[in-house]
Structure 1
Amino acid sequence: MPCDLLYWRPSRNGEYTVRSGYWLGMSLVGSGEEQADNGTGEGWWKVVWGLRVPPKLIHFVWRACTGMLAVKSNLLRHHCCGNAVCDLCWVEEETEIHALLQCPWTRSFWGANEFDELIVNARIFEKEDRVCPEVVVMGFTRLVSDYQGYVEAGLMTATDRVGEGIGGDVWTPPENGVIKINSDAAIIGDAEVGLGVVGRDSNGEMVLVASKRCRAGWSVKMAEAKAVLFGMEIAKRLELSSIIVETDALNVIHVVKKNGIGRSMFDLCIKDVCELANSLDCRGVVHVKRGGNTVAHLTARLCSVEGDELVHVIDFPPFVLVWRSWI
């Protein structure tokens, strides 16, 4: 059994950094800069306006924090509409808080996004009806920083064993003697994830089709990593001699290249992927765009019962064969 590890929740990889400690401290107790601004928030907005992002994003954040969005509560106050009831849920008044965070329609989006943890569940309100700009700005700047790092990594060309940059739009056959395993995940409902795996040879013929339904509240990238791990587990179980694994999750590829550098559950899953790859004749874990991973994506929805695992090596489901003909 692996040893227990200390895990730092405010960072993505579970390891403490000065920056994550700073964000946590600021979100809990505020800062001297906040007091020096005399409540104007000028210091925060200087940070935001200096970010290298499209100006329309910054402008939107500023308007949301200062109550200047064209929500119905503001429009009613200026006699531009007849009522302030939200047009989506038809229950609550449409304020900035409701439209962006509290409406059931928007909550369903944030629930599947890491921004939910940073903003919706943070100390976001100064008063019941006013967004706390400092917390929004902190979350926004952290997301921008993470996104820029991701983009910079995505533009790099890798030549090592695991990861070969951004893949193409269509599925391509592997070399002779190699089985290409495509993996994907599907978020189903509030707490279920489907994993799909499809294996094909150099002629494009089906070798295996596997799917699994799990009860879990995983993030999208965690589900994608679990799908890659599931594909490798099936390959080892079937004693496939030589494989190459494809996924459309570029963020998984980048962390696989680093062999899991953190202590989060995601990083530990990536370590399992790398260890399993080393135990197999795995030619690499590479990226393919969604268009080249469609069959695996649809296969992830095959199992309908939690805990079920379906593995086909002969008599493949007819609709999977039909999907293959579309690619």
Structure 2
Amino acid sequence: MEHGKFMVGCWAIWECRNKALFEGNEVNPKRVLQRVCDVVEEIASEGFGGKESRLKANKNPGVGIGDRQGWQDAEEGMVKLNVDAGIMAGVGVGFGMVCRSSGGRVEWGLSILQAQMLEPHMAEAVAILEGLKEAARKGHDKLMVESDCLQVIDALRNHKHGRSLFHLVLDDILILCSSFSLVVWSYTSRKNNTVAHALAHTLVNEFGRVEWSDNLPPTASSAVLFDLSLMK
């Protein structure tokens, strides 16, 4: 647990750094320190990854899933694909995705940076589309796709149709799902999606895509270790 507190403290510092770099927020050392203390205190008081919270999530699949504490395994026989998008002012849009199997083992990760700006909900939908494309190329058959954008997850669950560019991306996603025998949509909170979030902000000066094996960049690796500490 102490290791977990240390890792989330590092993550909180990194989060403040990203907001300063990409969103132009003023860096106040006292506020950064307070942010770290708040996050660590939250872990201590709420018991991130505790047995009780995991049992509750298992008994009520899909209900209150965004409130659970810590990354959760996919069901047996499936892999879990976490995706995220990050709007970086003056740079472009970053997409991050990580595929993990039983026990939190990283199968692969992917970082993409494009110059074209997108609305947040559109960017989150594109992140899912890119993640599914990579999962299909890797030969995965059954997967749970998890995002911290409830708007997109609800739209996919309800098969919402329309003529906007957003709905066209949703259509592409649903068509691509025919490549798999099973796709389950899952919503989670940002704090449970930190690995994908880190990968979405990894590329800053180089447009394109970088594929990662189990050797993820430092910030994403730290987030993986933190997730694993909550699963123990």
TM-score by length of 1: 0.48
Distance 1:179 1:166 in 2: 21
Q: 2:103 aligns with which of 203, 215, 229?
A: 203
**Pair 215,261 (structure 1): closer, same or farther in 2 beyond 3 Å:** same
User: Which secondary structure does the structure 2 equivalent of 1:267 belong to?
Assistant: helix
Distance 1:164 1:278 in 2: 22
**Residue 131 (structure 2) pairs with residue 221 (structure 1):** no
In structure 1, the residue matched to 2:209 is 309
Q: Which amino acid aligns with 2:208?
A: D
For residues 221-251 of structure 1, the C-alpha deviation after alignment (integer angstroms, 9 at most, x for no partner) is: 0111111111101101111132110001000
Q: Is the 8 A contact 1:181 1:245 kept in 2?
A: yes
User: Which secondary structure does the structure 2 equivalent of 1:183 belong to?
Assistant: strand
For residues 90-129 of structure 1, what are the structure 2 equivalents within 5 Å?
A: none
Q: 1:252 aligns with which of 148, 152, 167?
A: 152
The structure richer in strand per residue is 2
Tell me which moved more, 297-306 or 218-227: 297-306
**Residue 165 (structure 2) pairs with residue 268 (structure 1):** no
Distance 2:162 2:64 in 1: 23
More relative contact order, 1 or 2 (CA 8 Å, 6+ apart): 2
In structure 1, the residue matched to 2:89 is 189
Distance 2:166 2:69 in 1: 26
**Pair 232,190 (structure 1): closer, same or farther in 2 beyond 3 Å:** same
Question: Sequence identity of aligned pairs in percent?
Answer: 29
RMSD over aligned CA atoms reads 2.1
TM-score by length of 2: 0.66
Distance 2:112 2:81 in 1: 15
How many residues are aligned here?
A: 167
Q: 1:278 aligns with which of 166, 172, 178?
A: 178
Shift of 1:170: 1.9
- Larger Rg over CA atoms: 1
Q: Which amino acid aligns with 1:232?
A: L
Identify unmatched segments of 5+ residues in structure 1.
Answer: 1-107, 110-162
User: Which secondary structure does the structure 1 equivalent of 2:109 belong to?
Assistant: strand
The structure richer in helix per residue is 2
**Residue 210 (structure 2) pairs with residue 292 (structure 1):** no
